[in-house]
């Protein structure tokens, strides 16, 4: 594509601090994944992006109005109204993603645990969230974020989502990181300048009996034979 046309396309693409990090989610989609869940989908932009990567996408939001707008013209996605803490989805997903939503849930530990439990063995959970700064590093990153923001708004079309928001977020970055490390052992934490963090956690695949046998490991409760 010629550079002038490429610049125009970029300028037209909707952009905001959440959309900016959708790539963190799509990069974490496991090889061979077939199902994805977007929790707190809002206007549904991430669900639409995930649908390009996997055939079976479910998008949940507690706000019926925003969900109805998101669902327009997209019957290829399952749009489910309801509170993620109470919904019985009856299944797990290869990818569970939640952008700018976890701070809406009344209990951080319970919210992260719920998303973890919805992640299938071998699947990935990605949480992009907002928190409050509490350290010098947080504030410095905020300054870099402000500069980045100015740079992007001149080059992109800043798009305001229409989903409900909560401000300020109840937890500091540090509190979220400590809680995520407890609930999601082995998670990868990243701070992003434009007032977001990301958590990527991979659920261990179910080890099959054959690989246990090859590695010489006998699962608990089974009888070793010689």
Ligand X SMILES: C[S@@+](CC[C@H](N)C(=O)[O-])C[C@H]1O[C@@H](n2cnc3c(N)ncnc32)[C@H](O)[C@@H]1O
Which region, judged by CB under 6 A, interacts with ligand X, from 28-36, 99-107, 135-143, 174-182?
Answer: 99-107
Question: Hunting for tokens 């594509």 — which residue is that?
Answer: 1
To the nearest whole angstrom, how small is the minimum distance from the Cβ of residue 151 to ligand X?
21
Is 110 a binding residue for ligand X by CB under 6 A? The answer is no
Closest residue by Cα to residue 183 from 169, 201, 171: 201
Alpha helices, DSSP H, located in the chain:
3-12, 22-28, 45-51, 64-71, 108-117, 136-155, 173-183, 209-215
What tokens does 108 get?
């951080």
Query: What is the bridge-based pairing of β-strands 196-202 and 188-192?
Result: antiparallel
Whole-number Å distance between alpha carbons of 145 and 148:
5
What tokens does 215 get?
């590695």
Question: Hunting for tokens 């054959």 — which residue is that?
Answer: 210
Q: At what angle do helices 173-183 and 108-117 cross, to 10 degrees?
A: 40
To the nearest whole angstrom, how small is the minimum distance from the Cβ of residue 103 to ligand X?
8
Whole-number Å distance between alpha carbons of 120 and 36:
10
What tokens does 37 get?
């869940």
Nearer to ligand X, 120 or 130 (CB): 130
To the nearest whole angstrom, how small is the minimum distance from the Cβ of residue 97 to ligand X?
9
Is 18 a binding residue for ligand X by CB under 6 A? The answer is yes
Q: Which of 165, 207, 211, 222 binds ligand X (CB under 6 A)?
A: 165
Is 112 a binding residue for ligand X by CB under 6 A? The answer is no
What is the three-class DSSP state of 86?
A: coil
Is 126 a binding residue for ligand X by CB under 6 A? The answer is no
167 to 226, contacts with ligand X by CB under 6 A? Answer: none
CB count within 10 Å of CB 65 equals: 12
Q: Which of 59, 71, 84, 118 binds ligand X (CB under 6 A)?
A: 84
Nearer to ligand X, 17 or 35 (CB): 17
Is 42 a binding residue for ligand X by CB under 6 A? The answer is yes
Is 50 a binding residue for ligand X by CB under 6 A? The answer is no
Nearer to ligand X, 77 or 100 (CB): 100
Which region, judged by CB under 6 A, interacts with ligand X, from 51-59, 94-102, 184-192, 218-226?
Answer: 94-102
Q: Which of 132, 149, 161, 177 binds ligand X (CB under 6 A)?
A: 161
Q: Which positions touch ligand X (CB under 6 A)? A: 18, 40-43, 60-63, 66, 83-85, 99-101, 104-105, 161, 163-165
């Amino acid at each position: 594509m010629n550079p002038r046309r490429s610049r125009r396309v970029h300028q037209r693409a909707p952009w905001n601090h959440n959309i900016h990090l959708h790539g963190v989610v799509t990069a974490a989609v496991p090889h061979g994944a077939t199902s994805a869940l977007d929790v707190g989908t809002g206007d549904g932009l991430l669900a639409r992006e995930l649908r390009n990567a996997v055939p079976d996408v479910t998008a949940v939001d507690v706000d019926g109005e925003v969900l109805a707008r998101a669902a327009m013209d997209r019957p290829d996605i399952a749009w489910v109204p309801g509170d993620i803490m109470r919904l019985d989805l009856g299944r797990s997903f290869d990818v569970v993603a939640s952008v700018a939503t976890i701070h809406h849930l009344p209990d951080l530990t319970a919210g992260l645990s719920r998303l973890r439990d919805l992640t299938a063995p071998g699947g990935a959970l990605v949480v992009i969230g907002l928190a409050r700064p509490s350290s010098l590093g947080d504030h410095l990153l905020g300054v870099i974020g402000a500069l980045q923001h100015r740079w992007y708004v001149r080059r992109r079309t800043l798009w305001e989502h229409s989903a409900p928001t909560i401000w300020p977020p109840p937890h500091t970055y540090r509190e979220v990181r400590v809680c995520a490390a407890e609930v999601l052992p082995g998670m990868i934490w990243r701070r992003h300048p434009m007032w977001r963090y990301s958590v990527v956690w991979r659920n261990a695949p179910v080890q099959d009996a054959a690989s246990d046998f090859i590695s010489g490991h006998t699962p608990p409760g089974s009888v070793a034979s010689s």
